[in-house]
Chains A and B, each alone.
Chain A
Amino acid sequence: MTFTVQNREEIAVTIEKDAIFFRNAVKTYATKISMGLLYQTKIITAASEIVRNLLKYGGGGKAMIETVTDGRKVGIRLTFKDSGPGIPDLDKAMSDGFSTGKSLGLGLPGAKRLVDQFDIRSTVGVGTTVTLLKWK
């Protein structure tokens, strides 16, 4: 499916404070397309999960916010890129309760459940790219 991008912004995420700034930026974008409070909270929370992973495992990277439309619906698409170690076993990483750190292991699968489209690509030694999409 092809989407038309209406608005785009790229934010570098290297420290925990950047995550807060990024989350606020997502909120601004979501408010601009008058997304409901529940969906806003969902996309912001999902974004927060991925950003945390980006910082913790990927050693920082870039996050992009876009307002996209497929002609009928409007939504927010977020793309996260890092050049970290990559994820060796994606299936494992996407299953509930699995964590290589000491966390709950719900970040990636949880984020997937919070959005409409979720895409993760990872190459060991090259990096990881995560794309989230939430329609209004």
Chain B
Amino acid sequence: MSTIQALQSNSKLITEKWLLLQASEEGDFADAQTEEQKAEAAELVTSLVKSLTENSIDDPDSDAFSKVKENVGILSLSRARQGYSPRETATFILRLKEAMLEVLSSEITDAKQLYADSLKISKILDNIMINSFESFIKGREDIIMRQTDEITEISTPVIRVWDGVLALPIIGTLDSSRTQVVMESLLQQIVESESSIAILDISGVPAVDTLVAQHLIKTVSATRLMGAECIISGIRPEIAQTIVHLGIDLSGIITKATLASALRTSFDMLRYDVVKKSERKLATGA
């Protein structure tokens, strides 16, 4: 019997062996194999053995395997998204190879032919495996890309802390693109909420170098052009000393150590008085 025939007529056996090998791999989770997974495995094996022909068996890059590769790719992608480890994903295909070679060794009796054909099958499956790995990595990269987008989106909230007072806590590094986002959303919010004071809180910025300082100065200037005042708060002691050593002049800007004192300053500027209830009673004589 030829190798192709042997594999094609035994596709059911290969699937069973494969599932068994996977189950032994998963140990305690053996019963986790769902009907869906079993059907998936059977389909994959069937399409793989079907794509084996006299021509394609000698050429691992043959187009005959494109359908199988596509299926394996989709499977690997979904595994990456579900949080499977690379090892788990790799063993998944490696076990299929093991199952196929086992079946082959029981069907082919001639040692020379068995060796030659095992090599061919190995090559084909290795190729599929590389494909699976590429898809797996791609799946992970997609996740990273999505997270990067999410981070940029959530990292620049403009908060209305009081009537006419906006606060913008900046967390992380302030690079050129972030500054652009910060400036745009801040200026937009100043118009929308008709605010006259904006507080930029840099407590969450790890280091203020000349470029970050320049970005801050630009943001303040732009805010002033809109007719609003800008206060920079959250200047930590070590940041203050570093700014002085760098020789950056921030004296034209109102700066505060904490967001609380920045808010107090904005109340002063808006001529609000913050008084405790009991003290107010005393003052009015009520």
- Using a CB–CB cutoff of 8 Å, the interface residues on chain A facing chain B are 16, 20, 23, 27, 37-38, 40-42, 44-45, 48-49, 52, 96, 103-104, 106-107, 109-111, 113-114
Contact = CB atoms under 8 A, between A and B. Distances in A.
B180 interface: no
Contacts of B83: none
B214 A23 contact: no
B248 A48 contact: no
Interface string B237-281: 111011001111000000000000000000000000000000000
Nearest to A27: B206
Contact of B248 (A37, A52, A104): A104
Contact of A41 (B175, B239, B247, B248): B239
A107 B213 CA distance: 11
A107 B209 contact: yes
Contact of A45 (B176, B214, B246, B247): B246
A119 B54 CA distance: 69
12 contacts: A23-B173, A37-B238, A38-B238, A40-B238, A42-B238, A103-B214, A104-B213, A104-B248, A107-B211, A110-B247, A114-B242, A114-B245
Contacts of B114: none
B213 to A, nearest CB: 7
Given A20-B173, A103-B214, A104-B214, A41 B207 contact: yes
Interface in B170-188: 173, 175-176
Contacts of B211: 48, 52, 103, 107
Interface in B218-251: 237-239, 241-242, 245-248
Interface of B: 173, 175-176, 206-211, 213-214, 237-239, 241-242, 245-248
Contacts of A49: 209-210, 246
Contacts of B246: 45, 49, 106, 110-111, 113-114
A106 B248 contact: yes
B245 A42 contact: yes
A82 B223 CA distance: 38
Contacts of A23: 173, 206-207
A104 B210 contact: yes
Nearest to A111: B246
A106 B242 contact: no
Nearest to A52: B211
Nearest to A108: B210
Contacts of B214: 103-104
Given A20-B173, A41-B238, A45-B242, A106 B207 contact: no
Contacts of B173: 20, 23
